[in-house]
Structure 1
């Protein structure tokens, strides 16, 4: 079954879209690379390039100078390999190694990240000869997610010394790098100790927030993700928003004081109110939790807003599956009409602010973008 983007008919201008700033994406990677001049700077392009389209994200970053790309599944890696045929582009698969995935890694020249003894056994069996096919190795350093514990790491080191396993890089993942936490230093200490089992092998520890922790965390390869996409612009000067989500005004109407707007009459109107109904909803990835009223909230959340006619305007009532209401009463009467575009995050509405209003993180907003949302590269 075709999705809405693959139909032969022209795409309606009223459908929601996300404009992707290619220059900002490349510039963000270059900014992060400049912070770790002694390391290679890779890029996480998993989850379809954080929702923006992994092949085009990868091509853009390759042109900017990136050569190391991380995906979650081998199937994702094969799509990125179709976009990056250059032999110096390395594509690492972070999870899910089974015999089928191992075969696909061999076929598409992907490097699996081995995190369990079973992963190692499957990859050795798929190696089909000598020398063994290279792979990354992931160590457990305190996150208790994926990775080899000390005993399994020592067994892997024995295989490397025996020439039965080829390791291109040892890595681990920081759990709390974006918080003021001792855990990152504790993880680094464990990583230092376990990685000495693999002398001379390159090392990788830093994600986006880890890059900002300084040279002690950079090692030989960094792996930024959300920072590339502008999801942490407030954390580092020079990062720019990459994705701008907009949707079209479908109708403008005036409702009277004492009436209510949206599902559940969640927004009682205390004045005559002009309402712009916009064609964007939670089916498109704009979360219901970011409603203006009528959903569970928490102390201190930012007031949910959109940007329309050069002003921030409140989101009114509940976000529904396909529609969101905006209160435009304070705009000039002729300022907004059907077909005008409202921005829900991007250049004028920081995605961090929108995520905070919905009680979530920018990652979820980007990776949750639905298939009706056109990805428009600029």
Structure 2
């Protein structure tokens, strides 16, 4: 059976690097949205909690409910209908219009659009947003933003930092005027955190770095992290392919000599993206994916019972002209996971 192995030692190593950069484990919020970037929501959450991380970030209340007992604070990024609630949950406010749909007496983090122009209230709308939330007895527990180019060599990162600095000053002024507690401030994702010296915000939202990746790491001389996930497949059948015979849909691979070929229980139906058969992919042990990846299986030039398909997705991301995030999050949540 295909499976995902999660390397606990590598995960804890990454958490150590991250918490050193933030200054303490208390300033780390682990991002667990979309099934922990494909790694397994409960599995990663449990190990993060064991490490001492107290804050988590998810996409929905459904995700938050799975990990509710593991963290003190859970920020929910994209929930419009609040059908259940917990004092540990903090709902992201993504627009002024969303205030009217929020129930009373909940915790909210106001997202501010500092230049990404995707979600969030505009900086000039802050006081309106705060007053609107107060009318519903909603507790404002955080104010945050998101960087659009922290992993790119542009000035956008510094420009957004400057805008958010003004936002923080404005929020403090408004809170003092209204006798409100100062909320938590956070802006850094993984790349932004490692581009920041003397980190001084209340916490960082760390996603892809948790799982061992930092795109464009070489450009910024980021620390080396360790991939947490490896993907394995089990043998279904083996046959001797004669010279001139082909394998798989379209017969796009033809044997140049007699060879042993096996099929394995992994395909694009499991989220292992369909390779262009004109692009070669070789597993960590040196086996080649032969021809087209099918919905439920693929072919390799081996008869090993179990094969590691990848233990680092950089190569696959390059082959698919995408980013590491997409390779891991595309994997089916039904693939069995084991912590090793």
Same fold (TM over 0.5): yes
Given the alignment of the two structures, is residue 327 of structure 1 paired with residue 313 of structure 2, yes or no? no
Unaligned 5+ segments in structure 1 are 1-14, 128-132, 298-302, 329-335
Q: 1:217: how far off?
A: 6.4
Q: List gaps (5 residues or longer) in structure 2.
A: 173-181
Post-superposition offset of 1:363? 1.8
Report what 2:18 is aligned to: 32
4+ residue segments displaced more than 6 Å? 160-163
Which residue number corresponds to residue 154 of structure 2? 181
Q: Is the 8 A contact 2:22 2:199 kept in 1?
A: no
Aligned to 1:356: 318
1:270 to 248, 256, 264: 256
- C-alpha deviation, 1:371, in angstroms: 4.5
Q: Verify the 8 A CA contact 2:114 2:123 in the aligned structure 1.
A: no
Q: Which structure 2 residues correspond to residues 277-356 of structure 1 after superposition, within 5 A?
A: 277-288=263-274, 290-291=275-276, 293=277, 303-307=280-284, 311-328=285-302, 336-337=303-304, 340-346=305-311, 350-356=312-318
**Deviates most, 152-161 or 353-362:** 152-161
The correspondence for 1:198, drawn from 151, 158, 171, is 171
In 1, distance between residues paired with 2:133 and 2:335?
47
TM-score by length of 1: 0.79
> In the alignment, which residue of structure 1 is the partner of 2:210?
228
Residue equivalent to 2:197? 215
Q: What is the alpha-carbon distance in structure 2 between the residues aligned to residue 258 and residue 321 of structure 1?
A: 25
Q: State the distance in 2 between where 1:218 and 1:264 align.
A: 57
- Pair 1:320–1:155, CA change in 2 (3 A): same
Please tell me whether the aligned partners of residues 281 and 323 of structure 1 are also in contact (alpha carbons under 8 angstroms).
Answer: yes
- Aligned residue for 1:370, secondary structure, equals coil
Which residue in the other structure is 1:253 paired with? 239
Structure-2 residue corresponding to 1:104: 84
**C-alpha displacement at 1:164, in angstroms?**
5.3
Find the residue that maps to 1:240 and give its secondary structure. coil
Name the structure 1 match of 2:179: none
8 A contact 2:55–2:74 mirrored in 1:
yes
Go from structure 1 to structure 2 and tell me whether the alpha carbon gap of 1:64 and 1:233 turns closer, same or farther (over 3 Å shift).
Answer: farther
Q: Distance in 2 between matches of 1:54 and 1:108?
A: 20
1:97 and 1:55 mapped to 2: Cα distance? Answer: 23
Number of aligned residue pairs: give it: 326
- TM-fit CA distance, 1:369: 2.1
8 A Cα contact 1:142 1:187, kept in partner: yes
Please identify, of 206-215 and 264-273, the stretch whose mean Cα deviation from structure 2 is larger. 264-273
* Structure 1 vs Structure 2 CA RMSD: 2.5
Q: Counterparts of 1:17 and 1:320 in 2: how far apart (Å)?
A: 17
With the length of structure 2 as denominator, give the TM-score of the two structures.
0.87
